[in-house]
C-alpha cells in the first residue's frame, strides 16, 4: 500500500522541532516561517502543551460524546473569553473542512434555504460542501456539483449586495483574509457592509478564520479589526498546535437542536487538553501582541526591499508578491538559507510562522531574502503549484 499523493514533497525529512525551528535527520536546523500551513500556533513542542497533552493521555485520551467531558466546557469557556464571543455556542470537530461543513449545515437548518455565496479565490476545504464553496475547479469532482454554490468578487460590495438582495441565500462564507488565494485582506468597510447586507437579507455570515484566526493578526480573529461579528465562525489549524481539532462558533440566535450535528472524535479529551494549553500559552505569553508587533516589523522591512512587487497581510499572516515565479527563490531559501516558507500561486511567498516568532527570527529571514534578491534578478519561468 502507498499513501495517496497529496502535495509536491520537499526533499527533507523533519525529525524533530522546537519553537520556531525544525531539524532534519542530520540535525540541521531550519527556521520555520510556515508552521506547517499555520498549524504551529505557539511554537513546536511547546513544553506546556506537551506536558498537558501527555498528562491527559496518561489519564484518558478518548471517550465518545455520549458522556460528559468537562474539558469541553473548560475549553469553551476559555475560547469564549479570549475571543470575546462569550455568549456563543461551540461545536468541536477535527478539521477545518468539518468546521465549515457544519457551519454551512447549521446556516441551512436555521434559514431553511440552500444557496451559498462565496468569493472568487476562496478556499474553504475539500469536503463536499466546502469544496463547492472553494474557487478551485480542479479539486471539485462531479459529485460535488450540487448547483447551490455561487461566487462573487472579493472586496466588491455592489455585486454582493445585488446577489444577496435578489435571491435568498442561507449563507455567505468568507475568509476575512484569503490565505490560499494569496493573502488578500478584506477591507474594514467591506466587512462592515457585508455584515449589514447579511443582517437585512437574513443571510448567515460564516467567517472562516481557520487560517487568519487564533491570534495570528494581532486580534483573536481577523474580522475583529473591522469591529463586526459573524453568525458562525470557524477555527482549526492552530487550535491544538498540531493535534487534529476544529471548532464552529455559533451565535446565540441559533437555537441548538439536539442531534443536528454529531461527531465521533470531535472534542475528545486529548485534543481538548492540548487546546486548553494552547489558549493558556497565547494568553500568558501575550502572543497576540507579539504577532502584531513582529508582523508590523516584518511587513515594514519587506515593503522597503528592492525586488518585491507587493506586501499584503496583517500580523503574522503575510503575502510577499513578486513579478516573477518564486520557485527558485523558495528553493534557495530552503536548501541554501535553511528557511521554510509557503506559497500562494506562482508569485506569492506565504509567511505563517508560529506566533512566538521574534525580531531576531525575522532578521534572519530578512537578511537571507535580501541576499538572494541581490544575487538573482530573475527567477525561473512560471510554474503552477498545487494549492493548500
Ligand atoms: C481558510 C481555510 N479554510 C478551510 C481550510 C481547510 O482546513 P482543513 O485542511 O483542516 O480541512 C483551510 C486549509 O488550508 C483554510 O486555509
Residues 207 and 265 in one domain: yes
Residue 7 is assigned to a structural domain of this protein: no
Is the full-model pTM beyond 0.75? yes
Verify whether ligand 1 is closer than 6 Å to residue 176 (CB atom). Answer: no
Reported as a pLDDT band with limits 50, 70 and 90, residue 368 is very high
Contacts of 114 (CB under 8 A, 6+ apart): 108, 148, 170
**Which atom of ligand 1 is closest in space to residue 95's alpha carbon?**
10
Distance between start and end Cα atoms, the chain: 25
Residues 18 and 59 in one domain: no
Residues 222 and 366 in one domain: no
Contacts of 201 (CB under 8 A, 6+ apart): 164, 165, 168, 169
Q: Does 382 have pLDDT greater than 90?
A: no
Residues 230 and 164 in one domain: yes
Reported as a pLDDT band with limits 50, 70 and 90, residue 377 is low
Residue 295 is assigned to a structural domain of this protein: yes
CA atoms within 13 A on the CB side of 31: 25
pLDDT per position as a tens digit, 71-101:
999 999 999 999 999 999 999 999 999 999 9
Q: Does 228 have pLDDT greater than 60?
A: yes
Q: Does 388 have pLDDT greater than 80?
A: no
Distance CA 278, CA 286 (A): 12
Among protein residues, the one with the nearest Cα to ligand 1's atom 9 is 96
Residues 154 and 184 in one domain: yes
Q: For residue 19, is it left (φ>0), alpha (ψ between -120 and 50) or beta?
A: left
Q: Which domain holds residue 230?
A: 47-284
pLDDT per position as a tens digit, 108-139:
999 999 999 999 999 999 999 999 999 999 99
Residues 142 and 228 in one domain: yes
Reported as a pLDDT band with limits 50, 70 and 90, residue 376 is confident
Distance CA 221, CA 211 (A): 10
Specify the CATH number for the domain of residue 149. Answer: 3.40.640.10
Domain count, the chain: 2
Verify whether ligand 1 is closer than 6 Å to residue 65 (CB atom). Answer: no
Residue 9: its pLDDT value, please?
86
Polymer length in residues for the chain? 388
Specify the CATH number for the domain of residue 33. Answer: 3.90.1150.10
Reported as a pLDDT band with limits 50, 70 and 90, residue 146 is confident
CB–CB of 71/273 below 8 Å? yes
Distance CA 286, CA 282 (A): 6
Residues 359 and 371 in one domain: yes
Verify whether ligand 1 is closer than 6 Å to residue 97 (CB atom). Answer: yes
Residue 336: its pLDDT value, please?
97
Last residue of a domain, one of 284, 319, 349: 284
Residues 311 and 371 in one domain: yes
Amino acid at each position: 500500500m502507498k499513501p495517496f499523493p497529496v502535495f509536491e514533497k520537499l526533499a527533507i525529512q523533519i525529525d524533530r522541532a522546537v519553537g520556531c525551528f525544525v531539524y532534519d535527520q542530520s540535525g540541521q536546523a531550519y527556521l520555520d516561517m510556515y508552521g506547517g500551513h499555520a498549524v504551529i500556533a505557539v511554537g513546536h513542542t511547546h513544553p506546556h502543551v506537551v506536558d498537558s497533552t501527555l498528562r491527559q493521555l496518561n489519564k484518558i485520551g478518548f471517550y465518545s460524546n455520549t458522556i460528559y467531558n468537562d474539558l469541553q466546557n473548560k475549553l469553551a469557556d476559555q475560547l469564549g473569553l479570549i475571543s470575546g464571543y462569550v455568549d456563543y455556542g461551540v461545536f468541536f470537530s477535527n478539521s477545518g473542512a468539518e468546521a465549515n461543513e457544519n457551519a454551512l449545515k447549521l446556516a441551512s437548518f436555521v434559514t431553511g434555504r440552500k444557496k451559498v455565496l462565496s468569493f472568487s479565490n476562496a478556499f474553504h476545504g475539500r469536503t463536499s460542501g466546502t469544496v463547492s464553496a472553494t474557487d478551485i475547479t480542479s479539486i471539485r469532482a462531479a459529485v460535488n456539483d450540487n448547483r447551490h454554490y455561487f461566487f462573487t468578487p472579493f472586496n466588491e460590495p455592489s455585486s454582493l449586495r445585488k446577489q444577496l438582495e435578489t435571491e435568498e441565500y442561507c449563507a455567505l462564507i468568507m475568509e476575512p483574509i484569503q490565505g490560499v488565494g494569496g493573502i488578500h485582506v478584506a477591507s474594514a468597510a467591506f466587512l462592515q457592509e457585508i455584515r449589514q447586507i447579511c443582517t437585512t437579507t437574513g443571510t448567515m455570515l460564516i467567517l472562516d478564520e481557520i487560517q487568519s484566526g487564533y491570534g495570528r493578526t494581532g486580534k483573536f480573529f481577523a474580522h475583529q479589526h473591522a469591529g463586526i461579528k459573524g453568525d458562525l465562525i470557524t477555527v482549526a489549524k492552530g487550535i491544538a498546535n498540531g493535534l487534529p481539532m476544529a471548532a464552529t462558533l455559533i451565535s446565540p440566535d441559533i437555537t441548538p437542536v439536539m442531534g443536528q450535528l454529531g461527531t465521533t472524535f470531535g472534542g475528545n479529551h486529548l485534543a481538548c487538553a492540548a487546546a486548553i494549553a494552547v489558549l493558556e500559552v497565547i494568553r500568558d505569553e501575550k502572543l497576540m501582541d507579539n504577532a502584531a508587533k513582529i508582523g508590523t516589523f516584518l511587513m515594514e522591512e519587506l515593503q522597503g526591499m528592492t525586488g518585491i512587487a507587493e506586501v499584503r497581510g496583517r500580523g503574522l499572516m503575510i503575502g510577499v508578491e513578486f513579478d516573477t515565479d518564486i520557485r527558485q527563490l523558495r528553493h534557495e531559501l530552503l536548501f541554501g538559507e535553511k528557511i521554510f516558507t509557503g506559497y500562494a500561486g506562482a508569485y506569492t511567498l506565504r509567511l505563517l510562522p508560529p506566533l512566538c516568532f521574534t525580531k531576531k527570527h525575522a532578521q534572519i529571514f530578512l537578511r537571507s531574502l535580501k541576499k538572494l534578491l541581490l544575487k538573482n534578478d530573475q527567477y525561473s519561468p512560471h510554474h503552477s503549484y498545487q494549492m493548500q
